[in-house]
Structures are given as structure tokens and as C-alpha cells.
Structure 1
Amino acid sequence: MDCHVKAKSSVDKFFDAYKTKTHLIPKMSNQLITDVKLLQGDWDSVGSVRLWHYALQGKSVTVKEMIEKIDDTNRTIVYKVLDGDCMEFYNRWNFIINVTQMGDGCLVKYTMEFEKKNDDAPDLVMYDDFFTTSIKNVDAFLLKN
């Protein structure tokens, strides 16, 4: 499942926000993401583990994720979800952020790869609005700062 959002920030500035400034994402997107804690490693290296607290459809939820891969050339980061409220219905869930040049700004693409535990598990469509809003919030913050 993919989500595409146009951003006005430069491609390098936007990618850098997710690569090296993850600890500031709650400040950048405070309406949705309330906190992030580093559990293992450092903020911007493969193998680092973080615990996110965020609001989804009016509920407070958490997710524990690990940076699985960083590709600076293609401005892509792959995250593996390890635990959290979202894993109730899924055996596996990875999400990938890719930032590409688009005019003076950039195009941010989130891809969610998941395996449902059973056919009754919901699709992750509720995350479309979440990621779109979060990306727009981060973009607005980057344009101001």
C-alpha cells in the first residue's frame, strides 16, 4: 500500500529530517506524534530501535520499530515494525519512506508492506490520512525553520 504526498521542502532537507532528526519529529508533527524514545543504538543508524507514541483515529497508540536499511543515494529508509498496538492483526509490517526531487520541492512516498494474521485483519487504510497529515506537518515545520 502506497501513500504519495507533495512537499515544498527541498528533497535533501526533507530526507534529512527523517534520517538524522527523528528525535524532533514529535515537535514537527505534534498533532499526531506525541513522543519518540530511543531504545537501542542511535537516532540515525541501521539497527537502531525507537518507540513511538502517536494518535490514530482519536486513540493513543504505540509502535516499536527498527531502522532496517538506509539508502542515501535513493533517499530511502526502510523500517521494520517490531511491536506495538498495530501488530495485533499483522504477522509482519515494514514501512518504507522514499523522497524524490519534484520541481523545487519533493515527493514523499510511504510504502507499507504487511502480512495479515488472518482474512479478518483490517487493511492499513487508516494510516493514509495519518501519514499524509504527518508529512504535511513536517513539511510546514521545515519551511518555517
Structure 2
Amino acid sequence: MSSSSLTGKLEDSTEIEASAEMFHQMLLHKPHHVSNASPNHVRACDLHHSDWGKEGSIICWTYFLNGQPKTAKEIVESVDSKNNSITLRVIEGDILEEFKSVVVKCKATPSAKGKGCVVQWVLEYEKLKEDIAHPETTLAMLLEVAKDMGAHLTKP
């Protein structure tokens, strides 16, 4: 990506002990439970339209970024349960004060080790101005949430 470009893409992944299916099911059908798994990062998740896990449904997150409370309303753009992936587009919220668009993609892939999975987050975005920082802190927070979810899902 050239330094003068307003569009960008950040991606990173983390390994967790939960299965790809368990992680995907929680993120897709029970995102309102993520606050139990990751209370330091996620305060709440509410359904605003349609049903949990359906394309076109709208969910609203209340979360903390750099210690500050934030909100994001997202529409579920696509779901691929066979590949444990989901694509969300931010349609309202604090992040849109600095970004024209933000698309969040999450995919959980079974680990090559035979246990657990690799959770990959991809942020595709367009900044409103050149001098806005890339959303690296948002990506780091999503990786932490995935680790918290993995620990929560594998608790005895």
C-alpha cells in the first residue's frame, strides 16, 4: 500500500484452543455472549434487525478501544458456515468518524496441529484523510477478543 493511499487492508491471525466451528458459532449466533468471554474489550452486543447469524442482520457492539468506550453498528454481509467465515460492514459508529468505510472479515480454520484453530481477522478500510492512523489498534483488539473467546469456549 502506498503511503498516499486512503484505502488499506490489515490482517493478522492468532491460534486458539477452541475448534473453528465453536468459535464461528459463537461469533455468528451468540455474539451477545462475547462480552462474557472478553469483558475487558466488549461490553455488549445487541441485535437491531433480523435474526442472529443471518445475512442482512444488524448488530450493535459496545466495546473498549484504548480504554475508551466505543460503539459500532454492523450489517452481516456474508456468512460461509462451511468455511467458518463471516463478513461484517460497519454502517454506524465511532470508527466512521475517521474512516469512510470499514469491512471486517473473520475466518476460523482448523489448526494444522489437530487441536484448536487459527482465527484470521482482515480489516479493509478507506480513511477520510491522509493523516489518520491505520486501524492497527482495532486489529490488535480483535485478536485479543479471539483469544478470550477461545479460552472461554474451552473452559472446563
Q: Same fold (TM over 0.5)?
A: yes
Say whether the 8 Å CA contact 1:23–1:43 is kept in structure 2: no
**Aligned-partner Cα distance in 1 for 2:77–2:22:** 21
Give the corresponding residue for 2:120: 109
Say whether the 8 Å CA contact 2:38–2:145 is kept in structure 1: yes
The equivalences for 1:47-126 within 5 A come to 47-102=56-111, 103=113, 104-126=115-137
Give the corresponding residue for 1:135: 146
- Deviation (angstroms), 1:129: 2.4
What TM-score comes out, normalization by structure 1 length?
A: 0.96
Segments of 5+ residues of structure 1 without an aligned counterpart are: none
Equivalent residue of 1:127, what SS? helix
Say whether the 8 Å CA contact 1:36–1:52 is kept in structure 2: yes
Paired-residue identity, %: 26
RMSD: 1.0
- Deviation (angstroms), 1:128: 2.9
- Deviation (angstroms), 1:108: 0.2
Runs of 4+ in 1 over 6 A off after TM superposition: none
What TM-score comes out, normalization by structure 2 length?
A: 0.89
**Count of residues in correspondence between the two structures:** 145
Give the corresponding residue for 2:7: none
